[in-house]
Amino acid sequence: MVTRLSTQDALFYYLDEQSATSHLGSLLILDRGADELQYDRLLATVESRLGAVPRYRQRIREVGLGIGRPVWVDDTGFDITYHVRRSALPSPGADDQLHDLVARLMSRPLDRSRPLWEMYLVEGLAENRMAVLTKTHQALVDGHDAVEINQVLVDAHPQAPDAPQDIWLPAPEPSDASLVVGALTDVASRPWELVGAVRVLSAPVAGIGSAVSGSLRRAGSMLRFATDGAPDSPLNGQTSGRRRFTVSSADARDCARIARRHDCSMTDVVLAAIAGALRRWLLSRDAVVDSSATVRALVPLGAYNGTGDAGHGDRGRADGRRDEGWDQIDESEWTAAGVRGFVTDLPVGEPNAAVRLSQVAHLTGRHSTSGRRVAMAARSWLPEIGPATFHAMTSRAAATVSGRSFNLPISIAGGGSAPQYLAGNRIVAAYPVPALVPQRALAIGLNHYNGRIFVAFNADRDIMWDLASMPEYFAEAVGELAARTSIP
């Protein structure tokens, strides 16, 4: 049976025709212990688990004459060695070299004649480490029928569980004639859903709400929360497919102490730190930053888990572990709504860090108590999704919202309070690589994993030529909040 791309997936697929890239990724840093991860072992691990993500062995095939949305078909010539690759950094293997490699790899379009994903084992990283980068097209991960591949690769223990035997035989590809007949039948049943309109609207992806009634239902909840225009910002402009990438991190225990001291959530703390970093960045560009200046961010409601008062369930412990909030994020709420989140203004004009945090907490508190929750009855049909898939869902949601509604997408996910492993190798850091939204020069992704908050900045190369300063700005902003909370 042929599976047709959803309207939203087709929009992401056609977006690549506009000289943009619609893929996202995940960067895992591994400890290179005695059980060193070799390429052959990674290859075998991925191959043994592809049965859990069947879409990763399917490619997209367009329908002749463009009369219907493309379809998923099994790749009869599937070659896993094409998708799982190896790379190495030149000496000294510094982190900035890795980030440059990630930016170059994420700038390259995926081969649309094959399944739309790649994975790289990166060797030569300093301090006895290695990295695994995944790169996946947004059309491939919908959070329901398909999840991000890292979700099935990462284990809770060094000894990986035995994978079920996977005997895969690709289904024969349908003929051109059968695809045309199927497309005509589909169009006859939904005459308003014309593929030509979908292709044209893929450039301004924000038009999805008015393009198709089904997508309107998915985007409606978000659009109600983001109807007024975002402020002008150098973060917005004509974006390209060229990328810059960098990362930062913070101690989750420090952030938990700050949250407890100020009676707010850890999400509020990191949003305030991002506001402080953006303030420093704007001032470095000699931008006019008056006291009322803001940057409007799109944040998933899943960052507020609804436990405790006003969604601030993370203020009870100072060690930054189980009950501080992010480990309990209910990603199913984000998935169930299709598009679920809110926009909030980051007060980049406020020079006082404590006041900045108070303003952020006040604004986000309104959203977390506003009743915009998803009924838990939806859980029964939803898969359990991991942080990589959650970031993918956030990126997909951001791409469907009006381009005038926000300046910056931010995705936040919990990645577990204990160490995790890939093919027996300990993961020491886990960074999302969020997809860029058209007309948005920066996307920020955060993972809370094993006692640290890992922050990734993915940016347009031309607009944010100075992205390399952002980790320093973020660290300074966190330090400023810690100093005002008397954290040693």
Structure-block tokens of residue 170: 């690709």
d(CA 143, CA 146): 6
Structure-block tokens of residue 181: 């007949």
pLDDT score of 34: 67
Judge contact between 94 and 126, C-beta under 8 A: yes
Three-state DSSP at 187 gives helix
- The fraction of the chain above a pLDDT of 70, given in percent, is 73
Sheet holding 3-4: strands in order across?
A: 3-4, 71-74, 58-61
Helix H or strand E segment including 87: strand 84-88
3-state helix, strand, coil in the chain (%, to 5): 40, 20, 40
Query: 237-261 b/e with 16+ CB inside 10 Å = b?
Result: eebbbbbbbbbbbbebbbbbbbbbb
Nearest CA to 135 among 113, 118, 156, 154?
A: 118
Encoded amino acid at 387, one letter? P
Residue 35 scores a pLDDT above 70: yes
Structure-block tokens of residue 1: 């049976």
Q: Is 479 exposed, middle or buried (0-12, 13-18, 19+ CB in 10 A)?
A: middle
Nearest CA to 183 among 2, 338, 388?
A: 2
* Residue range 321-345: mean pLDDT, rounded: 47
User: What pTM was estimated for this model as a whole?
Assistant: 0.83
Q: CA dist 250 to 173, 188, 383, 429, 455, Å?
A: 49, 54, 30, 12, 8
When pLDDT is cut at 50, 70 and 90, the band that residue 343 belongs to is: confident
pLDDT digits (tens, 9 = 90+) for 415-470: 677 899 999 899 999 999 998 888 889 999 999 999 999 999 999 999 999 999 99
d(CA 432, CA 25): 6
d(CA 279, CA 274): 8
Of these ranges, 120-129, 178-187, 334-343, the one predicted with the greatest mean pLDDT is 120-129
Determine the number of helices (DSSP H) and then strands (DSSP E) in the chain: 15, 16
pLDDT digits (tens, 9 = 90+) for 269-283: 999 999 999 999 999
DSSP string covering 349-382, please? T---HHHHHHHHHHHHHHHHTSS----GGGGGGP
Bridge partner list, 236: 440
- Give me the sign of the Cα torsion angle 297, 298, 300, 301: positive
Query: Which residue's structure tokens are 């359990």?
Result: 384
Encoded amino acid at 191, one letter? P
Judge contact between 394 and 443, C-beta under 8 A: no
Structure-block tokens of residue 416: 């577990």
HSE, side-chain direction, 13 A CA sphere, residue 443:
30
> Which phi and psi (to 5°) does residue 29 adopt?
-100, 125
pLDDT score of 279: 97
d(CA 224, CA 419): 39
DSSP designation for 58: E
d(CA 149, CA 289): 42
Dmax of the chain from CA atoms? 71
DSSP designation for 70: -
- The fraction of the chain above a pLDDT of 90, given in percent, is 47
Query: Which residue's structure tokens are 């014309």?
Result: 194
pLDDT score of 123: 95
DSSP designation for 62: P
d(CA 454, CA 126): 19
Structure-block tokens of residue 274: 């991002």
| pLDDT mean across residues, the chain | 78
Bridge partner list, 29: 131, 429
